Amino acid sequence: MDKFKKAIPYLLVLLFLGWASYKFFIERKPEAEPKMTLDWDQLDATSGSKAEESPVTLKKEAPPEDKPEKVREYTSLSKSEEDKFQAFDEMEKKWLLEVKTVIGDQFYAQYLEMRERNEKEKMEAYKEYHDYLRRKHGDNFKYNISEDQSIREKKINQDYLKKLLELIGETKFQAYIKARDKINEENRRAGKEFIQVEF
């Protein structure tokens, strides 16, 4: 039972990272980037001889306006899961409104950029660690988030908190930390599942 209790914060972090990834990767519309493609016909034609040209070419995709947009529908979520995501969204909006009030409009856009980079670096650190474990143990492995991974994520978070301190100054930073701790405590007392605000 103690192991389960210790795992709850890590599970909440994973849930938050999944939600953040969904928001970042699924809901946003990135610009089309050049992609590396392999010309299989050219590769087959040159497989017997040494070719001057590489079968790998850089192709630019057509802008997404030319194609009708596909809408993904996720029907596998239960009503309680939808309610949880809705609750997470509401907590997120409440926190962002509080941050904007505390640090001010002039720093808010920079804060959002820092926050996005913070989450992206944490996700990359998670992926690197996952890939490391896959190389070490093979594809069929199971693990809990280790202390090493948690320490790495905390270090990334601390680096961004230092950058935020440099950006907004000591007074606003202390107000930010106080607001962060307050919202985390309110969420804890509510007795519902929540994702702890780290940045």
Whole-structure pTM value: 0.56
Which token pair is 86? 């809705």
Residues 56 and 90 in one domain: no
Residue 198 domain-assigned (yes or no): no
Which token pair is 31? 């610009």
- Name which residue leads in pLDDT, 16 or 173: 173
Give the pLDDT score at 168: 94
Domain residue limits at 56: 35-66
Residues 117 and 146 in one domain: yes
Residue 17 domain-assigned (yes or no): yes
Token look-up 């070419």 returns 57
Beta strand pairing status for 56-59 and 35-38?
Answer: antiparallel
Domain boundary among 17, 46, 66: 66
Residues 86 and 153 in one domain: yes
Q: Are 160 and 199 in contact (CB under 8 A)?
A: yes
Which token pair is 137? 């143990």
Which token pair is 178? 């106080």
Report the number of distinct structural domains present in the chain: 2
Residues 60 and 87 in one domain: no
CA 116 to chain centre: 8
**What does pLDDT average to over the chain?**
75
pLDDT per residue over 64-97, tens digit each?
455 555 555 556 777 888 888 888 888 889 999 9
Residue 196 domain-assigned (yes or no): no
Residues 62 and 160 in one domain: no
